[in-house]
Chain A
Amino acid sequence: MRPSIPLFAAFLFFAIGCRHYHYSPNFVHTPYIEKKGDGVVAATFGANPVTLNGDFHASYSPIKHGAVMLNYFRTRSSFEEPNFLGQPVYQESTEGYFLEAAAGGYWPFEFGTVAMYVGWGQGQMRNDYGIARISDLRLQRFFVQPTLTYKNDWFRLGLGLRLVQLSFPSGTIDYRIEPEDIEVIKRLEKDSPFWFPELGGNLGLHFKPVTISAHLVLAALRPSTDYGFDGINIGLGISLELQELFKKREK
């Protein structure tokens, strides 16, 4: 029972936290690559208490012990809020995307691989606070990610620790949004860049060449200061291991 308490607490925190977000973590990908020529494409659909998101991943090993990956992430949430007169409701939303590339080395061992990736990406988080009031922040992320994967004929298990440096190089903000929201953004502007680890894992059932897997990522944010960061994402995904697909065809 014990381990679920922090998770539950995290859930609660993010469920009651503000509903506009300036960051939302994509899944930590752990490519199941063991040799030159291996490749994976994957799509994952995620949700947390407030956002829905889609995550697309591709990885490939062009050389022995070397791999590259490309990740694309989209997140969205929307809700209705009464306007300042108390009545007609207007729509508010958060919408964001993220595109990143990484390269790294992997070393296979008996049941899987250890790997280390280094990546860089860029994205945008756009919040609509209703009645045409927008905040639009550009974000940039560096990461270093040690990764551990295990695989057998039926299972896939991957763990990755993504060490992140997140920054917000620019942004345009409508000053008419609520003062509390301005405060969050000003705080974020002042304190950027942010350094924090994100722990991600996935557990999959493998049906050659397809894997159906559950994903979880937790960002170790300091909940005491509100930057409008979303710290958790849970998803269900499907991935295709290209070497198996082509091997099958060759047969």
Chain B
Amino acid sequence: MKKHVPIISLFALFLLLGACKSDFNYFYYSKEETELLSQYLNLPEIPDDYTVTFPAHLSNVGLFPRAVERDKAVLGRVIFYDKKLSKDGTVSCASCHKQALAFSDNKVFSEGVYDRSTTRNSFALGSVANFSAYYGTDLNGFNAIRFFWDNRAETAADQSRGSMTNAQEMDMSMQEIAAMVESQPYYAPLFNKAFGSPVVTEDLVLEAISNFVNAMGSFQSEFDAEANQSDPTPDGNFGNTVYHSNFSGFTSAENRGKYLYNANCSSCHSGNMGRPVLQLANNGLESNPIDLGVGGITGVNSEKGAFKVPTLRNIALTAPYMHDGRFANLEEVLEFYNSGIQNHPYLHVPNRIQVCHTFL
């Protein structure tokens, strides 16, 4: 018996030592918070990290996403999807900005509360590389890109206030929004996390949704992967570069498309799919525009009929196209740029530009 003792004790030691792998439990919300939140929402146990890191080809030209506060973005996301925050309880931001469609809508005009119709085509939020990197005068100064097709909102907060209070969209007053948020039990823990207190104010609601919007964007396309490995040619505009040489991962048809895009489109839409080169332009949709676009807000003659220049990321997902959704597909867009450009005293494009579909 005695001679087994060392063997048995060695074996026991082995068992003990084997039992020393770690198994940690990470939590984000307390037990009580989790219980409350899970009754109403389906949030991940550990919320997503909303930190945005741009691909090198964009950070190399001085474009940097701003820091996003995770708890505010999480709260902002819940607000983004909350239909209770509309007059008839049927519309949320996500009703017109659908994730599967790069946060756009597949209708010419979107439906707001009481089936009212918006007057413009929903903007594809996923067409932008990242809002915080070049949108919003609060984050990016006077030269920042403004929000909406007519650039009427200076900041993400102004933009959200606009959507929430617009009679065709959610049709609430900001007081009603704050009161509704206050009355929903799941917002208390989220406000606690985001602002250290469950007290709801209009400004805090806007700050939260701004953090979420500012974290949005799209920057992991095949184009980005190729651009990261290629030498750009600066074109003199802040944040913009053009990739003249062929991308090795592109087919020859795609490279031909890129060539035509660089030649005809990148001077407005940007050659690196980052910050648009022009903040607004008249691309010749109408010689006599009814919707005056930017000019309708500023009253400036040369801006009447000019609209924001959108970036074209995820463009295949975001039909229909243009501020009024007039083109049902990209073929129509290209047909327009090829042969449909209308004359206008303040036109920014040559009357006829040659385009090729394969790149977009």
Contacts and interface: CB of A to CB of B under 8 A. Distances in A.
Contacts of B23: 169-170, 189
Interface residues of B, number: 18
Interface string A164-194: 0101111111111001001001001110110
A52 B27 CA distance: 29
A175 B20 contact: no
B19 interface: yes
14 contacts: A137-B24, A165-B17, A167-B21, A169-B21, A169-B22, A170-B25, A172-B26, A173-B24, A173-B25, A174-B26, A176-B71, A176-B193, A188-B22, A189-B22
A167 B28 contact: no
Nearest to B28: A175
Contact of A175 (B46, B69, B196): B46
Interface in B16-53: 16-17, 19-28, 46, 49
Interface string A201-239: 000000000000000000000000000000000000000
A167 B24 contact: no
Contact of A193 (B17, B26, B27, B193): B17
A19 B27 CA distance: 22
A179 to B, nearest CB: 8
Interface centre among B16, B22, B26, B46 (most CB of A within 10 A): B22
A142 interface: yes
A154 to B, nearest CB: 41
Contact of A170 (B22, B49, B193): B22
Contacts of A179: 49
B27 A173 contact: yes
B24 A185 contact: yes
Contacts of B21: 167, 169, 192-193
Given A142-B17, A165-B17, A193-B17, A175 B22 contact: no
A239 to B, nearest CB: 31
A167 B24 CA distance: 12
A140 interface: yes
B192 to A, nearest CB: 10
B19 A169 contact: yes
B19 A171 contact: no
A192 B22 contact: yes
B157 to A, nearest CB: 18
A193 B71 CA distance: 34
Interface in B54-100: 69, 71
Nearest to A120: B16
A171 B23 CA distance: 7
Contacts of B19: 169
A175 B26 contact: yes
Contacts of B28: 174-176
